[in-house]
Amino acid sequence: MKEIRCKATALLSGVAMVAALSTSAMAQNTAADTYKAKCASCHGADGEVNTPIGQKLGVKSIASGEVAKHSDQAYFDATQKGKGKMPPYGGKISDGEIKALVQDIRTLEKAK
């Protein structure tokens, strides 16, 4: 009986680890998916504003010195409340999704 409990505990621990890793991977995919769905049409898939609408609106490259120097909080606020011609996404996506999105945007900066 003790051996069965040990095996069950090990199995549950393994399931918990897989669930945690899956949740982390899902958060990353969700941020990239959110960027693609909400941001890429203006900012471009790579953040370089290579879209007609982004160029027409005068959107700046995410990797530009002017934009990249902003704090995570500034990115969060701009995404949640909107800024300039950018619409607010607060209420459309959760605060957690916005925070994950900010981290995804930072990876675009580093790729430059």
Q: Which two tokens stand for residue 32?
A: 């990239």
37-55 pLDDT, tens digit per residue, is: 999 999 999 999 999 999 9
**Residues in contact with 5: Cβ distance below 8 Å, sequence separation at least 6, in sequence order:** none
pLDDT band at 107 (very low <50, low <70, confident <90, very high): confident
**Looking at the predicted structure, is the pLDDT value of residue 70 above 50?**
yes
87-103 pLDDT, tens digit per residue, is: 999 999 999 999 999 99
26-35 pLDDT, tens digit per residue, is: 455 689 999 9
User: Which pTM value belongs to this model?
Assistant: 0.69
Name the superfamily (CATH) of residues 30-110: Cytochrome c-like domain (1.10.760.10)
Q: Where along the chain do its domains lie?
A: 30-110
Give me the DSSP letters along the chain: -HHHHHHHHHHHHHHHHHHHHHHHHHHHHHHHHHIIIIIHHHH-TTSS--SHHHHHHTPPPTTSHHHHTS-HHHHHHHHHH-BTTBPP-BTTB-HHHHHHHHHHHHHHHHT-
